[in-house]
Structure 1
């Protein structure tokens, strides 16, 4: 709940003392299940978006085209990310011995029984407000940074690590206000915010001010660099390996 913890370290200390170290991984199954297919779909649809909007004679996409391709990618992955985030948020706020949801699948089934498909897709508006511009900035930042770092390089080595990490930070920096609203909406029972963002936004401002829209920024940014650096480094090295040993694929 808002105001429960002073900062990131205080949150970690309190959670571990009350529920043990493993409690830091509550709701982990949802992102673990969706992470690989989401990354694959996101990158594939990003390149498909570029192919859709670029003219045949173009050798390089414009900034607008890169942004469009990123937004297109965000649209394509949203049917997976929204329900996965809804379940993850509900699992993460469970405290104590008696818990309503036993795990990922149990939570999904109960949500469907309680409110049908709309209950799974609670927070859709805030999720799209977060994901579409953030995904556009994500890929645009990666392309920009890679172009800059490879300008005088003879071959690609460590560049995807820097470019991927900066892309993750840039995307989350603009996504945080919408993400806070999304998490607030998705972690609440059905009907708590009947108008979605229009209900959550004024409530957060009234209780916490504008700072409330950036709650959790520090841990998110700490996580953003290494995870996205690893993602893009793995992607580039994987493509390099496939092009070298399996050029017919």
Structure 2
């Protein structure tokens, strides 16, 4: 088998199953990783925390355990469509790659085709993800800069009142620049690590939970290693982000918050891919 080949895998999952399983995986990811995401955003927007542990500890002391989930409604409500679109986009990207290869839908996916499909998956999710990221980040820093929001609706009204509809899409270019390469690393790492952990020819329903968890967790780490960006909602555009951060805080500021992001990445994405794989198995068994 060519070195560029990955495990023999036909593009056989239907678009609808990919959509539904992706949504379930997204909800699993949010539930598992949200406290670390909150710590990441707070560290990116404030210099008062020395570590992720300090941020989480102070948050619990001030607001109780439920304080770790402040602002979770927006990403949780949006997890289903965003991750559903992401995995649907990944499935569609695979089919496009195979179609243009001219080898038919049952042909083996090469590493290059998987990486293309991973990058393609980021495109349809941007339409939904950018507005929700804006709302989520405003809620997570609510009260820290003098402006408080009662909830997602209040934050959305503030964005529309101050910047109009296009205010929801502030940072769209940055989102794409982050998520396209990040998604390439995400799906590419998952497929290649999973391939390395399971015997060749193992049926999908026989793949071990441990292999899925390890591959999914490492995929999340790979994604964040590529996709760490500056806080959203604070800058007018991409040039403003890099000029301001590098000038005032130095190059290391571009990686501010990477600690909690990495702490979140493994368990959250392990939960995501486990949710995806288990829901696919369930659908395949009854459908």
User: What residue is the counterpart of 2:285 in the other structure?
Assistant: 244
Report 1:149-188 matches (<5 A): 149-152=197-200, 154=202, 155-158=206-209, 159-176=211-228, 179=229, 181=230, 183=231, 185-186=232-233, 188=234
Pairing 1:117–2:165 present: yes
Match of 2:85 among 41, 45, 49: 41
CA distance in 2, matches of 1:132, 1:91: 26
Q: 1:198: which partner in 2?
A: 239
- DSSP 3-state at the match of 1:10: helix
Structure 2 distance, partners of 1:153, 1:30, is 41
SS in 1 for 2:67: helix
Give me the whole-angstrom Cα distance separating, in 2, the residues matched to 1:21 and 1:235: 28
Distance, in Å, in 1 between the alignment partners of 2:63 and 2:248 is: 28
> Quick one: structure 1 residues 133 and 12, their matched pair in 2 at CA, closer, same or farther if it must change by over 3 Å?
same
Distance 2:65 2:276 in 1: 31
Match of 2:251 in 1: 210
Which digits, 9 at most, give the CA deviation of each residue in 1:173-232, with x for residues without a partner? Answer: 1111xx2x2x2x41x3xxxx33x1211112111222222111111111111111111111
> Where do residues 20-169 of structure 1 align in structure 2 (5 Å cutoff)?
20-54=64-98, 55-57=101-103, 59-95=107-143, 99-152=147-200, 154=202, 155-158=206-209, 159-169=211-221
Partner deviation per Cα, 1:157-182 (whole Å, 9 max, x = no partner): 22211111111110011111xx2x2x
The equivalent residue for 1:3 is: 47
User: Bigger CA drift: 63-72 or 147-156?
Assistant: 147-156
Distance 2:165 2:284 in 1: 42
Do residues 232 (structure 1) and 276 (structure 2) align? no
Q: For the aligned residues, what is the CA RMSD?
A: 1.9
User: For this pair of structures, how many residues does the alignment match?
Assistant: 234
- Which structure is higher in RCO with an 8 Å CA cutoff and minimum separation 6? 2
Q: CA deviation at 1:152?
A: 4.8
Return the offset for 1:123.
1.3
TM-score between the two structures when normalised by the length of structure 2: 0.76
Mind listing any 5+ residue stretches in structure 1 that lack a counterpart? none
What is the Cα deviation at residue 99 of structure 1? 4.9
Gaps of at least 5 residues in structure 2 are: 1-44
Deviations 1:144-164 (A, max 9, x none): 112111235753122211111
